[in-house]
A and B are shown apart, each in its own frame.
Chain A
Amino acid sequence: MRVTVLVRPKQGILDPQGEAVQESLRKLGFAVGGARVGRLVDLEVDAPSAQEAKAQVERMCQELLANPLIESFEVEVGGA
């Protein structure tokens, strides 16, 4: 089963990478009010149900894919 994980810098956490991206986009002439840069992980998970897959991947996020001190995550099952 295809599961997609989105890892984002937590709200309120300084994201200098996002700021640099925003600044660069502005230099290209785009009106960008904010940019935050995270990470996307596509997984193929063996699980009997979407629910089970989601639960498994949430554990993966807590244990490895995200650092809960500074990152939040979102799990989408069956994403394209």
Chain B
Amino acid sequence: MNGRPKLAVLVFPGSNDDRDAAWALGALGADAELVWHAETELPRRTGGVVLPGGFSYGDYLRCGAIARFAPVLEAVRDFSAAGGPVLGICNGFQILCEAGLLPGVLRRNRDLEFVCRDVRLRVDRADTPFTARCELGQELTIPVKHGEGSWYADEELYGELEAAGQLVLRYAEDCNGSVGDVAGVCNEARNVFGLMPHPEHAVDPLLGSGDGALLLAALVDAARERTLTTV
């Protein structure tokens, strides 16, 4: 046993950023373990969960719509209900929305293009476990790569989320037609967070930006804290 908090990185059929996420978390001081979707429990001492990017179940029906029935999702529901930190990246964000763990839905990009480039983001809430290492209003550069990342909520829901401080990250440039330029949202309890950009692809300046490490390191912090208090 070492002092590294355990992060469970889920693997669905069609996930393709699971290893990148596990590698990045490992580089940031976590012990990342890949967990197959058919598992019914998370590993012992799990302090945080990541749903990675990819095309789970071939994006059949709607992105993320089928993955929500994966056995491991029940364990994630229990973990999040108990306050454990859960991060969904890209397809992981889509899954969390379809599972009802996050508000809204991801639609096809407004211009129908698969957007694959670095984007500038603005941190609109620094009071979440995932943005605790960021300053309010800080600009981050993190890549996106998605065809269906245009986040949508109707006016009423959008107003509620804004008032509750759940609209955590916004694009600081035009990206995909998301309502309010929202790039990342959290749940009411602030322990579940999803975003379309890929922080695991931006953990080293050699890769263009190290800004993603701010978000992932904050998750590692939260997982460490959770491990100390509950396990």
- Residues of A whose CB lies within 8 Å of any CB of B are 13-14, 16-17, 20, 64-65, 67, 69-70
Question: Residues of B contacting A14 with CB < 8 Å?
Answer: 107, 110, 177
Nearest CB on B from A73, distance (A) = 13
B140-156: contact bitstring with A at CB < 8 Å (1 yes, 0 no)? 00000000000011100
7 A-B interface contacts by CB (under 8 A): A14-B107, A64-B65, A67-B65, A67-B98, A69-B104, A69-B157, A70-B152
Question: Residues of A contacting B109 with CB < 8 Å?
Answer: 16
Is there an interface contact between A69 and B108, defined as CB atoms closer than 8 Å?
A: no
11 further A-B contacts with Cβ under 8 Å, apart from A16-B111, A69-B157, are A14-B110, A14-B177, A16-B112, A20-B112, A64-B65, A65-B61, A67-B98, A67-B105, A70-B105, A70-B107, A70-B152
Question: Residues of A contacting B152 with CB < 8 Å?
Answer: 13, 69-70
Q: How far is the CA of A70 from the CA of B157 in the complex (A)?
A: 13
Nearest CB on B from A79, distance (A) = 20
Say whether, besides A64-B61, A64-B65, A16 and B108 are in contact (CB < 8 Å).
Answer: yes
Question: Residues of A contacting B226 with CB < 8 Å?
Answer: none
Q: Which residue of chain B has its CB nearest to the CB of A19? A: B112
Q: How far is the CA of A69 from the CA of B154 in the complex (A)?
A: 8
Nearest CB on A from B63, distance (A) = 10
Give me the 4 closest cross-chain CB pairs, A-B, nearest first: A69-B105, A16-B112, A67-B105, A20-B112
Q: Which residue of chain B has its CB nearest to the CB of A67? A: B105
- Does B77 lie at the interface of the complex (its beta carbon under 8 Å from any beta carbon of A)? no
Interface residues on chain B, number (Cβ under 8 Å)? 17
- Residues of B whose CB lies within 8 Å of any CB of A are 61-62, 65, 98, 104-105, 107-112, 152-154, 157, 177
Say whether, besides A67-B98, A67-B105, A70-B105, A17 and B62 are in contact (CB < 8 Å).
Answer: no
Question: Residues of A contacting B157 with CB < 8 Å?
Answer: 69
Question: Residues of A contacting B177 with CB < 8 Å?
Answer: 14, 16
Q: How far is the CA of A64 from the CA of B99 in the complex (A)?
A: 10
Is there an interface contact between B61 and A69, defined as CB atoms closer than 8 Å?
A: no
Q: How far is the CA of A64 from the CA of B62 in the complex (A)?
A: 9
Question: Residues of A contacting B98 with CB < 8 Å?
Answer: 67
Neighbour of B108 across the interface among A17, A64, A65, A67, CB < 8 A:
A17
Nearest CB on B from A47, distance (A) = 22
